[in-house]
A and B are shown apart, each in its own frame.
Chain A
Amino acid sequence: MKGVQDAVRAALVDLRRDTPRSLLSLSGVVIGAAALTLILAIGGGFRRRILAEAARTGSLQELRLFPERPAGLQPGDAERLKRLPILEEVAPEAALYGELVRSRDGTARADIQGLSGDSARLPRILRGRAILPQEFAQRRQVCLLGSSRLSALFPDGQALGRTLWVQQVPWTVVGVYAPGGPASSSRLEESGVLLPLPAAARLHPGLRTQSLLLRVLPGRVEEASERVLEALSRGDPSRRAMYRLEDWGFFVQERVRRTNLLTWTGSLIALLILLVGEIGVMNIVLASVAERTREIGLRRALGARKLDILRQFLWEGGLLSGTGCALGLILGRALAESACSLLGLLAGEELRPFLHPGLAALALGGATLLGAVFGLYPASLAVRLSPAEALRAD
């Protein structure tokens, strides 16, 4: 413990002896660590956003049930599933793909999605309002328009209160919603028009319930899959093959995995810079060994073993590298802050950098270790001389 304390003091003296030169030699480590921090923090920010979005839309807790036969879902399926306590919600989903939609001023191709009245999952409304419960119940012909289709249908941007025709059926726009809702996990993400299912199912025969969205109690997705298939098979295992369950959390995790992969790839490059930077650390330790040869001789005379001397310079390398890494962490964090505001500005979404404290600690520890490794060669030079020879040096 005293030895460590002594080594730390010696290293600090060394750093201070020529601070500008030390900082210059450390710049490689600082830049490498900053790059690493930048990449990790941006990657972490994206990851967090994906997960936050998933948490907001609840897609981590979702299963989708598709029929594996042309006949589609059975009439009693939804009712049967609603009786399962593990499911919080069973919402029918229906869609028409690439339908031609008209307004007085224009036309557009859009995906038409049915919205069930009891759905807890609502689109993010940009203008106007959502469809009211009584409008569902009274089968009113009102609809929500996706903002991506707004300009094609209403060049003046004024959609609220105006009429859309889908398959010759008129619908009044009450709200405009942002892409990404009603379910970012949905393949109908880019859906152009949302119609209340009770009315739409009557007026558009093609808009049948094609899938069921199942919201599961938190953390019980796997168990729920089994329960659902069990309930649907009604004691006949062959019936299980008539349904297909998709775990939508899986897709979210896939996005996270992709983000992670990119983050790690970038980190690898940053690590390479850091590695090159360690040569600077080696340089400082090398100079320190050369400058302190007499001191090494003195310490050997006082009874220091080769290992004690080695350890002293390994600590010095480690501390230097750790210091550089700490500076890099601070710098990288600041850079990530600016980079994220810029990226957020470009993407029109808020992005905040996030660096897990454990990851920062790991980087700090790793850099310290790496510095020690790069101090190995200079340290070996420090014990190459006999104590007498070291004392003889000027």
Chain B
Amino acid sequence: MSEAAPLLELQGAAKTHRLDGREIAALSPVSLQVARGEFLAVVGPSGSGKSTLLSLLGCLERPSSGRLLILGRDVSRLDDDQLSSLRARAIGFVFQSFSLLPSRDALDNVLLGALYSGLPAPERRAASLLTSLGLGHRLGHKPSMLSGGERQRVAIARALMNGPELLLADEPTGSLDPAAGDAILAILRELNRLGHTLVVVTHDPRVAARADRVIEMAGGRLARERTGRALP
């Protein structure tokens, strides 16, 4: 594990799915590096393989071929339980659909983030995370009583429970109105500034504009790459 090793490195990683006996390529072999502390945006049309790429980076599935290195270490050797523990400790996920449990209030939804990591005294951390995200007065609210932006903030708090180095977000503003989307973007940027490495799949040009680097996917391939922020 050298200092220079990127946080994430895909080496010719591809993903194919078997559907009715036919092989469907969701992702053609991709090589990609994500540096520690980087804010990477992934853009591209629907079906271009963005979510698949994110799943590979988040160890939600294994590449059909190629490898994923995390800090220079090949994680394809890890078994399923070890991958689970890696996700629990080091990776936070945010989804377009929030993925909150409707029967549980905001605090309990955030606590779910600590259920599998064995974090001690999670209640205090969950409450303080929600408070720092401006939801201190919504702890006991069920998701159905929260706005879209509030729900996504609950989801972000849940992703932050275990203090993960890596945050992966799949169209986090996709279901939000522009104002709420901007608020979420501001939170994500702030988290990135605090040191979380951030990979965001997005259709939103305003999100992409804030990223350190933007990669564009097309037809399961990495089509273009642009470095440097368009806007300061």
Residues of chain A whose beta carbon lies under 8 Å from any beta carbon of chain B: 2-3, 6, 9, 13, 294-295, 297-308, 386-389, 391-392
Contact = CB atoms under 8 A, between A and B. Distances in A.
A305 B84 contact: yes
A387 B115 contact: no
A392 B117 CA distance: 24
Given A3-B115, A295-B101, A308-B116, A302 B158 contact: yes
A297 B84 CA distance: 12
B29 interface: no
Interface of B: 51-52, 55, 58, 60-62, 80-81, 84-85, 87-89, 93, 95, 97, 99, 101, 103-104, 112-113, 115-117, 158, 162
Given A6-B115, A388-B55, A303 B84 contact: yes
27 contacts: A6-B115, A9-B104, A295-B99, A300-B84, A301-B58, A302-B87, A302-B112, A302-B113, A302-B116, A303-B85, A303-B87, A303-B88, A304-B88, A304-B115, A305-B80, A305-B85, A305-B116, A306-B84, A307-B81, A386-B62, A387-B55, A387-B60, A388-B52, A388-B55, A388-B60, A388-B61, A389-B61
A201 to B, nearest CB: 85
A6 B114 CA distance: 12
A24 B60 CA distance: 37
Given A304-B84, A388-B55, A391-B60, 7 more contacts: A3-B115, A302-B93, A302-B112, A303-B116, A304-B115, A305-B85, A386-B62
A109 to B, nearest CB: 77
A2 B115 contact: yes
6 closest Cβ contacts across the A-B interface? A303-B88, A303-B116, A388-B55, A388-B60, A388-B61, A387-B60
A305 B86 CA distance: 11
Contacts of B162: 303
Contact of B99 (A9, A294, A305): A294
Contact of A386 (B60, B89, B97): B60
A13 B102 CA distance: 10
Query: Which has the most chain B C-beta neighbours within 10 Å: A3, A6, A301?
Result: A301
Query: Which has the most chain A C-beta neighbours within 10 Å: B97, B101, B162?
Result: B101
A383 to B, nearest CB: 9
B89 to A, nearest CB: 7
A298 B80 contact: no
B59 to A, nearest CB: 8
Nearest to A294: B99
Query: Which has the most chain B C-beta neighbours within 10 Å: A13, A299, A302?
Result: A302
Contacts of B103: 9, 13
